[in-house]
C-alpha cells in the first residue's frame, strides 16, 4: 500500500473508476459482515448503496476508507488501494455515528478538519464559512456543538465531509436525524456535488432518498449484492402496462398470454411481467383481435417495490414488508427502520 511518501498516488491510474472492489469481504468473528462484494462506481456518479439495517453497508464504507481491514478481496478508491493517505485527502466522509467535541464551536470543528486535510491556513476560515452556509448553519458558527440538536450535528458532519472540494464524498445514512426539510437540503447538496463533478457514494436504507438523487444503485442483503443498475433499469426490469380496451370478445384474450401475465377489471386490462419494448406489439395484437384501445398507461415499478421484491426473493419468496425488516442474518435480530427518527428541532 502506498504511504505518505508517495504523493499523488491517487492520480496514478488514469481513467480509474472512483471505486472498484472485487470479492471484498469482512468477517467479525463468526459474523460475515461482507460476503464478497464486487462493484464499480464511475467518477461523477451518485451511487446509492441500499440495504436493510445490518446488511453490510457501513462495513463496506469502512473497508473503502481503510478504517477496517478486509478479510479477503481487494478495493481501489480513486485509483489507489483503499486507505491510501493521499487518496483519503480527496475523500469527504460523513460517518453513520460520530460525535464532535462538545466544547468546540461549529466553526472550530470545521477549521480543525480543514487543518487535518492539510488545507492552507489562510483558506481555512473561508472554507469553514462556506461549509456552514451550504449545510444551513450560517449564523450558528459560534455556537458550541454541545448545544446542537442531533439534526444540526448531522448538518455539521455533512459540512465537514464537504470541506476542500473532495473528489469523492461518502455519506453513511446522511439524513437519519433530519426532518423532511433537512432531507430536502441534503438532496440539493448531493445534486450540487454531482454538478461540480464529484462522485457521491450514498449509504441508505431510505429508498425515497435513493430514488430522488441516485444515478445508479446497488441493493445488498447479508453482505451480498442482489442487484445493481441505473434507477430506470432497476424499476423497469418487469414492466407493466394498463390498457382500456373495448370491443374484444372475452374468448379472444388467450393470445395475449404470450405478452405476460394479464388480468382484467371491467374495460381495463393489466399486463405484467412484460418483456421490454413489447407494448406496441401488444397494442397491435389487441387491434388485430378486433379490440379498440382507448388508453395505454405504462406502469413502472417503484424502486421500493423492486427492492422489496428482491429482498423477498433473497429470503425464499416471502416478500419483506419494508426495508427495515432485515433479512435474517445468522443469529442477528431484525432491526427496525429508523424512517421516523427525525429529531431535528
Ligand atoms: N465492529 C463489529 N464487530 C462485530 N460485528 C460487527 C461490527 N461491525 C458490524 N458488525 C456486524 O456486521 C453486520 C453488518 O453491519 P453493518 O455494516 O453495520 O450494516 P449496515 O450498515 O448495513 O446496517 C451486522 O451483522 C453487524 O452486527
Ligand atoms: Mg450502517
Q: The CATH number of the domain where 201 resides is what?
A: 3.40.50.300
Same domain, 219 and 70: yes
Residue span of the structural domain in which 255 resides: 238-299
Same domain, 111 and 204: yes
Same domain, 46 and 192: yes
Residue 53's closest CA among 340, 330, 331, 325?
325
**Taking 60 as the threshold, does the pLDDT of residue 81 lie above it?**
yes
The reply to whether 275 falls in a domain is yes
Q: How far is the CA of 249 from the centre of ligand 2 (A)?
A: 55
pLDDT of 19 reads: 97
Into how many domains does the chain fold? 2
Same domain, 14 and 156: yes
The number of the ligand nearest the C-alpha atom of 29 reads 1
Question: Cell triple for residue 78?
Answer: 480513486
Q: How many residues does the structure list for the chain?
A: 345
The reply to whether 67 falls in a domain is yes
Same domain, 105 and 143: yes
Residue 141, Cβ neighbours under 10 Å: how many? Answer: 21
Q: Which residue has the higher pLDDT, 257 or 193?
A: 193
Same domain, 15 and 124: yes
Residue 169's closest CA among 35, 98, 53, 78?
78
Residue 160's closest CA among 211, 199, 107?
107
Same domain, 242 and 226: no
- Closest ligand 1 atom, CA of 52? 22
pLDDT of 22 reads: 96
Percent of the chain at pLDDT exceeding 70: 85
- Alpha-carbon distance of 323 to 226, in angstroms, equals 14
**Taking 80 as the threshold, does the pLDDT of residue 145 lie above it?**
yes
The reply to whether 340 falls in a domain is no
Helix (H) or strand (E) holding 268: strand 268-272
Last residue of a domain, one of 215, 234, 253: 234
- Closest ligand 1 atom, CA of 34? 14
Same domain, 158 and 251: no
**Taking 70 as the threshold, does the pLDDT of residue 8 lie above it?**
no
Closest C-alpha to ligand 1, atom 18: 58
The reply to whether 331 falls in a domain is no
Residue 226's closest CA among 39, 77, 1?
39
**Taking 50 as the threshold, does the pLDDT of residue 336 lie above it?**
no
pTM score, two decimals? Answer: 0.78
Question: Mean pLDDT across the stretch 123-137?
Answer: 95
- Closest ligand 1 atom, CA of 223? 14
Lowest mean pLDDT among 169-178, 180-189, 297-306, 318-327: 318-327
Same domain, 221 and 98: yes
- Alpha-carbon distance of 154 to 99, in angstroms, equals 9
**Taking 80 as the threshold, does the pLDDT of residue 314 lie above it?**
no
54, 96, 170, 173: residue to mutate for ligand 1 pocket, most atoms within 8 A of CB? 54
The reply to whether 286 falls in a domain is yes
Question: Mean pLDDT across the stretch 207-215?
Answer: 90
Same domain, 161 and 292: no
Q: Which residue has the higher pLDDT, 345 or 45?
A: 45
Question: Cell triple for residue 65?
Answer: 476508507
Same domain, 110 and 20: yes
Same domain, 261 and 274: yes
Residues having CB within 6 Å of any atom of ligand 1: 28, 31, 33, 51, 53-59, 329, 332
First to last CA, the chain: 44
Q: Edge-to-edge, what's the strand order for the sheet holding 240-246?
A: 261-265, 268-272, 240-246, 292-299
- Alpha-carbon distance of 119 to 160, in angstroms, equals 13
Q: How far is the CA of 69 from the centre of ligand 1 (A)?
A: 14
**Taking 80 as the threshold, does the pLDDT of residue 74 lie above it?**
yes
Last residue of a domain, one of 276, 299, 322: 299
Residue 174's closest CA among 196, 206, 144?
206
**Please, what is the average pLDDT of the chain?**
84
The reply to whether 345 falls in a domain is no
- Alpha-carbon distance of 274 to 237, in angstroms, equals 9
56, 204, 226: residue to mutate for ligand 1 pocket, most atoms within 8 A of CB? 56
Report CA dihedral (338, 21, 68, 230) to the nearest 10 degrees: -10
Burial of 208 (0-12, 13-18, 19+ CB in 10 A): middle
pLDDT of 225 reads: 95
Lowest mean pLDDT among 86-100, 219-233, 245-259: 245-259
Q: Which residue has the higher pLDDT, 277 or 46?
A: 46
Band of residue 312 on the pLDDT scale cut at 50, 70, 90: confident
Band of residue 321 on the pLDDT scale cut at 50, 70, 90: very low
Helix (H, G, I), strand (E, B) or coil at 125: helix
**Taking 50 as the threshold, does the pLDDT of residue 261 lie above it?**
yes
Question: Mean pLDDT across the stretch 216-244?
Answer: 87
26, 27, 29, 31: residue to mutate for ligand 1 pocket, most atoms within 8 A of CB? 31
pLDDT of 273 reads: 80
Decide if 231 contacts 215 (C-beta within 8 A): yes
Band of residue 302 on the pLDDT scale cut at 50, 70, 90: confident
pLDDT of 58 reads: 97
Amino acid at each position: 500500500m502506498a504511504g505518505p511518501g508517495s504523493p499523488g498516488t491517487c492520480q496514478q491510474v488514469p481513467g480509474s473508476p472512483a471505486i472498484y472492489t472485487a470479492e471484498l469481504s469482512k468477517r467479525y468473528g463468526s459474523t460475515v459482515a461482507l460476503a464478497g462484494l464486487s462493484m464499480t462506481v464511475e467518477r461523477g456518479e451518485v451511487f446509492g448503496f441500499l440495504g436493510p439495517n445490518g446488511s453490510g453497508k457501513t462495513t463496506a464504507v469502512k473497508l473503502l476508507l481503510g478504517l477496517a481491514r478486509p478479510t479477503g478481496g481487494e478495493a481501489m478508491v480513486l485509483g489507489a488501494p483503499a486507505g491510501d493517505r493521499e487518496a483519503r485527502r480527496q475523500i469527504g466522509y460523513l460517518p453513520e455515528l460520530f460525535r464532535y467535541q462538545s466544547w468546540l464551536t461549529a466553526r472550530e470543528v470545521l477549521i480543525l478538519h480543514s487543518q487535518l486535510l492539510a488545507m492552507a491556513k489562510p483558506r481555512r476560515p473561508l472554507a469553514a464559512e462556506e461549509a456552514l452556509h451550504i449545510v444551513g448553519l450560517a449564523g450558528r458558527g459560534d455556537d458550541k456543538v454541545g448545544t446542537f440538536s442531533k439534526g444540526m450535528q448531522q448538518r455539521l458532519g455533512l459540512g465537514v465531509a464537504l470541506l476542500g472540494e473532495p473528489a469523492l464524498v461518502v455519506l453513511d445514512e446522511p439524513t437519519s436525524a433530519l426532518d423532511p426539510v433537512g432531507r430536502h437540503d441534503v438532496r440539493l447538496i448531493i445534486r450540487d456535488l454531482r454538478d461540480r463533478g464529484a462522485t457521491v457514494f450514498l449509504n441508505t436504507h431510505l429508498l425515497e432518498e435513493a430514488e430522488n438523487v441516485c444515478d445508479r444503485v446497488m441493493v445488498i442483503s447479508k453482505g451480498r449484492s442482489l442487484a445493481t443498475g441505473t434507477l430506470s433499469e432497476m424499476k423497469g426490469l418487469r414492466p407493466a402496462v394498463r390498457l382500456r380496451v373495448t370491443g374484444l370478445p372475452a374468448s379472444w384474450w388467450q393470445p395475449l398470454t404470450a405478452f405476460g401475465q394479464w388480468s382484467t377489471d371491467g374495460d381495463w386490462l393489466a399486463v405484467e411481467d412484460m418483456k421490454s419494448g413489447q407494448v406496441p406489439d401488444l397494442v397491435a395484437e389487441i387491434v388485430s383481435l378486433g379490440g379498440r384501445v382507448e388508453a395505454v398507461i405504462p406502469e413502472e415499478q417503484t424502486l421500493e417495490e423492486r427492492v422489496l421484491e428482491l429482498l423477498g426473493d433473497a429470503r425464499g419468496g416471502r416478500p419483506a414488508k419494508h426495508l427495515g425488516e432485515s433479512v435474517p442474518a445468522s443469529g442477528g435480530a431484525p432491526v427496525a427502520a429508523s424512517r421516523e427518527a427525525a429529531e431535528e428541532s
